Amino acid sequence: MGESDIAGLLRTMLVVIAKLGGPLLAVALVVGLLVSLIQAVTQINEATLSFVPKVAALGVALVFLGAFMTTTLSNFALLLFDRMVAIGGS
């Protein structure tokens, strides 16, 4: 296994990390901005008011994106195991 193979695996790993974490971070960011906007307009500064909607939105996002995330992670794990078998066999 050469340096180019390792660099390819690292690039693939970073893409998988972005696929798994990106949508959840985006959902948390959008909900946080909306709640902050509502808090600024109404002048209500309650810590739980920003926490509870984020947790609920992340739960909903995980329900909808869970299958995609599981498939992506299992495909990457299978790729890694296949590479390990190929290296061990040569």
pLDDT for residue 16: 96
Task: Report how far residue 30's alpha carbon sits from residue 61's, in angstroms, rounded to the nearest whole number.
Answer: 12
Q: For residue range 32-75, what is the model confidence (pLDDT) as tens digits? A: 999 999 988 988 888 778 889 999 999 999 999 999 999 999 99
The total number of structural domains in the chain stands at 1
Q: What average pLDDT does the segment 75-81 reach?
A: 94
CA neighbor of 57 nearest in space, from 42, 37, 35, 89: 35
What is the chain's mean pLDDT, rounded?
A: 91
Q: CA 17 → CA 6, 26, 28, 43, 73, distances in Å?
A: 16, 14, 17, 37, 9
Question: Maximum distance among all alpha carbons in the chain?
Answer: 66
The predicted model scores a pTM of 0.80
Whole domain around residue 49: which residue ranges? Answer: 3-89
The string over 26-40, giving b where at least 16 C-beta atoms fall within 10 Å of a residue's C-beta and e elsewhere, is ebbeebeeebeeeee
